[in-house]
Amino acid sequence: MHHILLLGGTTEASALARLLGAQGISATLSYAGRTENPRPQPVPCRIGGFGGVEGLVAYLREHRVTHLVDATHPFAARMSAHAAAAARIAGVPFVALTRPAWRMEQGDNWTGVAGIEEAVAALAGPPRRVLLALGRMHVDAFAAQPQHHYLLRFVDAPDAPPLLPDHHLVVDRGPFSVAGDRALLCDHAIDLVVSKNAGGTGAQAKLIAARELGLPVLMIERPAMPDRRELFRPEEVLDWIAHTPATERGV
C-alpha cells in the first residue's frame, strides 16, 4: 500500500496531486506555510516545517511514507537538501519533480547574476523603474539600492510596508498572463525586470512581455541542488511510483 509525501508549492506539484487524487493513490501534499491561503488540493495537505532533516526522517517513519517526491520550487534549496538527506537516512525511494531552467531566446536581453546579493549589486547606478518579481522573502535586501522606483508583486499583503522608499506594491498570485504582465510593465513604465530563473510557465509571462517590449532582464540563477534523480512531467512520477516497490517500512 503506497503512501506518497509530495513536497509542494509549485504548478507541477499541484498537477501531480491532481493525478494522484484521480488515481486514488494515498498522498499528502506538504506546504511550508509561506502564504495565507494556499491553493486547495485534491489530496490531504499538511502545512509547516518538519523541523530539519531529523524532523522529516521522523515524519517519513511515523507516517509510513513509501515514496518521497520533492516538487518544491528550484529556489527552495534548503528543503530540497533536507529531502534528499532524509530519504537516504530513512531508506525511502526519492525523486524530484522539477522544470528546466529558462534559456535566453531570440529577442531576449538578459544579464545573468549568481544570486540575490549579486542582483542587488548589479542595480548600482542612476535611478531606474524596476519590476522586482521575486516575492516577499528577499525584498528588503534591495534597500541597499534605494534610488530606484520598485514595482513589487507579493502573494499576500505584507505585515509591514517594505523598506524601499520608492515602491508600488501589487498583491497577486500566479500563474500570470503575458497580456497582464505586458500591461503591468507598460502602466508602470518599467525599464528593467528582475527575475529568478524559476523555469516552468507560472512565472514566465513577465519574461515574454519584457521580450516583446524590448526590456532588459536581470536573471538570478538557481542555487545548487543536491545530486538526485529529476523528472520533469507529473506523468513520469506516476510511472516511477508504479515501478518502484515500497520498501519494507519501519525497518
**Site residues (CB under 6 A) for ligand 3Y8, limited to 76-135:** 133-135
Nearer to ligand NAP, 145 or 195 (CB): 195
Residue 171 phi, psi dihedral angles, 5° rounding: -105, 110
Contact call for residues 149 and 127 (beta carbons, < 8 A):
yes
Residues 6+ apart with CB under 8 A from 106: none
Q: Per CB under 6 A, does 10 bind ligand NAP?
A: yes
Residue 225 phi, psi dihedral angles, 5° rounding: -115, 155
Contact call for residues 56 and 31 (beta carbons, < 8 A):
no
Question: Which residue among 42, 44, 49, 107 contacts ligand NAP (CB under 6 A)?
Answer: 49
Q: Per CB under 6 A, does 42 bind ligand NAP?
A: no
| Cα separation of the two ends of the chain | 16
163/207 Cα distance (integer angstroms): 26
Question: Which residue among 4, 5, 6, 11 contacts ligand 3Y8 (CB under 6 A)?
Answer: 11
189/184 Cα distance (integer angstroms): 8
Q: Per CB under 6 A, does 216 bind ligand 3Y8?
A: no
Question: Which residue among 8, 38, 199, 234 contacts ligand NAP (CB under 6 A)?
Answer: 8
For residue 227, give the amino acid letter: D
Question: Which residue among 25, 32, 89, 225 contacts ligand NAP (CB under 6 A)?
Answer: 32
Which three cell numbers mark 223? 542555487
Q: Per CB under 6 A, does 173 bind ligand NAP?
A: no
Contact call for residues 99 and 12 (beta carbons, < 8 A):
yes
Quick one: what does residue 136 bind among ligand NAP, ligand 3Y8, none, with the CB cut-off 5 to 8 Å set by partner type? ligand 3Y8
Shortest CB 243 distance to ligand 3Y8, Å: 26
Stretch (H or E) spanning 152 = strand 149-154
Contact call for residues 35 and 9 (beta carbons, < 8 A):
no
Handedness of CA 232, 238, 240, 246 (dihedral sign): positive
Q: Per CB under 6 A, does 196 bind ligand 3Y8?
A: yes
Shortest CB 9 distance to ligand 3Y8, Å: 3
Nearer to ligand 3Y8, 53 or 155 (CB): 155
Shortest CB 41 distance to ligand 3Y8, Å: 8
**Site residues (CB under 6 A) for ligand 3Y8, limited to 48-67:** none
Q: What are the beta bridge partners of residue 47?
A: 31
Sheet architecture: strand order including 230-231: 45-47, 27-31, 4-7, 67-70, 94-97, 230-231
Q: Per-residue x/- marks for ligand NAP, 68-107, CB under 6 A?
A: ----xx-xxxxx--x-------------------------
**Residue numbers of the site for ligand 3Y8 (CB under 6 A)?**
9-11, 14, 31-35, 38-39, 73, 133-138, 153-156, 173-176, 196, 198, 200, 202-203, 206
